[in-house]
Amino acid sequence: MARESQIKKPRMIFLDLMNTIMFNHDRFGPQENYPAVYHALGGSNLADEELHLIIGRAVERIEIDYSEPERYENFPHARYYLRAEAARLGKNLSQTDRLALNLTFAFQECGWIDAIHARAIEKLAREYPLAIISNLWGVPYFCNRVLRISRLHRCFLGAYYSSELGMQKPARSIFQYVAAKHALLPEHCLMIGDNLEADIHAAREAGMQALWISYGRESDVPQALDFPDAVELLVSHT
């Protein structure tokens, strides 16, 4: 548990999305029913096997590039990988099929925010301005939809996704960019996330404070057991 003295009251708090407040995400693999999603979204030109090949190969390529430091500030959108894999199969997709393919990928990448985490977000938003900084590969349509359905969009002044910015954590530039968007210096901001390298060390290198969601793991950085625990710490610190 972080001591209160380790965290100075920030002017704004940035939240990671996946594994911090959103769960059951990145549902990729041969067990997934991509065709049902694809057809529901208007897709028709890809056979089931082709759809699994395109998404599976795209995920493999993205995961390789995702870990390359030279890609941190120049990270391609998932649609480029999906288009390339479709072309490898000789598929010339219509605009409708391209959209259905991209949204199928986005649906599988998105997760859900449960009631416990939703209440914690609302509680924190009553005390601090909030925004999201997330490493997302695909279009954020479904992630934004989850925020709206749960009415949590009202809690955030912005949501910043790597797929839209073309840069990803742990690049220091993404933290500095988002702080500047809100007319703040990095030292006036706090980042909360579960990834020790991408969320915590990187934010601190960018000049921010950071609070790690540890889930029982060990480190000497300021930390909380989970997000609701972090909220209690920060609200008691106001």
User: Residue 6 has what pLDDT?
Assistant: 78
Do the Cβ atoms of 224 and 211 come closer than 8 Å? yes
Average pLDDT estimate for 184-201: 97
- The burial of 30, by beta-carbon neighbours within 10 Å (0-12 exposed, 13-18 middle, 19 or more buried), is given as exposed
Element (H, E) at 136: none
Among 45, 79, 81, CA closest to 60: 81
| Share of residues in the chain with pLDDT > 90 (%) | 91
Q: Over the stretch 15-56, which tens digit does the pLDDT of each residue have? A: 999 999 999 999 999 999 999 999 999 999 999 999 999 999
Homologous superfamily (CATH) for 4-24+111-236: HAD superfamily/HAD-like (3.40.50.1000)
pLDDT band at 2 (very low <50, low <70, confident <90, very high): very low
Mean pLDDT of 191-199: 97
pLDDT greater than 60 at residue 142: yes
Q: Is the pLDDT of residue 1 over 70?
A: no
Predicted confidence band of residue 238 (pLDDT cuts 50, 70, 90): low
Q: What is the H or E stretch that residue 55 is in? A: helix 48-66
Q: DSSP code of 105?
A: H
CA distance 194 to 204: 14
pLDDT at position 237 over 80? no
> What pLDDT is attached to residue 75?
87
Radius of gyration of the chain (CA): 19
Does pTM top 0.85 for this prediction? yes
What is the mean predicted confidence (pLDDT) over 208-233? 94
Per the omega criterion (within 30 degrees of 0), is the bond before 76 cis? no
